[in-house]
Amino acid sequence: MIAEIIVLLILLVAVYVASTLWQLRCLPPGPFPLPLLGNLLSIEQNRPYADLAKMAKKYGKLLRIHMGTRKVIVINSYELAREALITKSKDFAGRPCHFFGNIFGRDCTDIAFQTFNKRWKMQHKLALTALRLTEGKVNIADHAEKLCNRFYSCDGMLFDPYDMIFNSLGNCLSSLIFGKEHKLDDCEVKKLVHATHVFRDSLGAANLLDTFPILKYIPFDIIKKAKCAGKIRDEIFERKFGEHVSTFQKENIRDLIDALLKGFHELTDEGLVTKEHLISSASDFFFPGTETPSSIIMWAIYYAIKHPDVQAKLHRQLDDVIGSKNRPPEISDKPNLPYLNAFITEVHRIVSETPLAVPHSTTRDTSLAGFKIPRNMTVLINLWAIHHDPDIWGDPFSFRPERFLDENGQLYVEGVMTFSAGKRSCAGESFARKAVFLYLARLLKRFRFECPRGTTLPKEEESVFGIVLECKPFQIHAIPRDKDEK
């Protein structure tokens, strides 16, 4: 009897191995998957991007893994990422099913998590046009200055700047989306900020639920929180949208929602995009518009403290270019501040704040690097691996803003994919770049940042992975530079 069981087990293993090898024969190389679990045991949930980068050393920069029974292609190369996202952009522009993405994306009526189709193209174009029309209506510099004043009121005392930065950007996005007439009050901003934090945490936990869909029927606390946050977010956006509809005038575009309504009324293909899609498009801008820039600003303060020589160079260039103590930096100063721009780019590179981006999927049978990639294959773009590739950067774990300056000291950027690329690149890239520049230019012009004596900054590898890579909390002294000079 025991011998028969052993023979049966050997037969089952042989069948599993043979059938798996046959299914994988045309796909990129990768570790052999275990039944049901796939390669999950080889990937740490807190730093999956780093584990996938390590796998590239063995299997190549285009590899295949199994998340449970789901096959996933991982791109760890800048050249291959450009081929997929730009050269073959339509082939790789889809989105796989995403449990928390469905909640965050209002049942896939949004731009971020909706897959590539005719409706998405129309909705995406409508949103981009609306953003261009209204981006200049919000005074980012004013919000940055108010944040500086809050820092100044701390009078050099110890504090954690994260909530101040996040709430400031929340108010900034509120002004962009809802305008002055329908601007959110402080309580509503706090509710949306809380919802954003919940979505960030839930998206970080999404892999397990997407790998084992049966788990979504178990009442996990994170699922309850995500659904509750979605209801709070939707109530605010639906109410504000209704207010805009009742007061809309096409000759007077006040904000992003008005601009979306204007584009909606001008559509010729009626019915493809509905008002539900407009609400989802508007809410789509709040999460990345607050989460990503606030994360980068925190990381920039972190590296300015960690590298005081870099911070001193930033101060010198700001003083040389801006000159007068009474004139704050403006967006027009950006071309004249190459070292600050290089510093921001280096922060984006070394942090890779969205290390695995939002997952893509193939929209049709295609190929990459000579391998056949079938339709509906999930594809991960490992931005962290791309930004830490020693073949490109030489010393990828060293923080050196100078790597983005040419021999004349001017900004030169290549190899960085901060906002992804191609058809699914971040729609709010222009706004995010302006916000990060203005906030950091004004903060660094007015303050010298330090850690408390006797303490150290948290380690980079201790950062918290959601869909955005968050620095662990730390406290700072923001010392007004005008007091330094007295």
At 413, list the tokens: 């950027």
- How many whole angstroms from its chain centre is CA 147? 22
Is 426 annotated in a binding site? The answer is yes
Q: What angle do CA 341, 83, 26 make, to 5 degrees?
A: 140
Helix-, strand-, coil-residue percentages of the chain, each rounded to 5: 55, 10, 35
Note whether 294 and 165 are within 8 A (CB): yes
CB-CB contact of 470 with 295 (8 Å):
yes
CB 16 within 8 A of CB 35: yes
Q: At what angle do helices 256-265 and 162-178 cross, to 10 degrees?
A: 30
Helix (H, G, I), strand (E, B) or coil at 479: strand
Q: Report helix, strand or coil for 384.
A: helix
- Say which residue the tokens 């925190």 belong to: 298
Q: Distance (Å, rounded) from C-alpha 146 to C-alpha 152?
A: 10
**Cα–Cα distance list, 7 to 4, 33, 35, 62 (Å):** 5, 22, 19, 37
Binding site per annotation, positions: 426
Binding site per annotation, positions for heme: 426
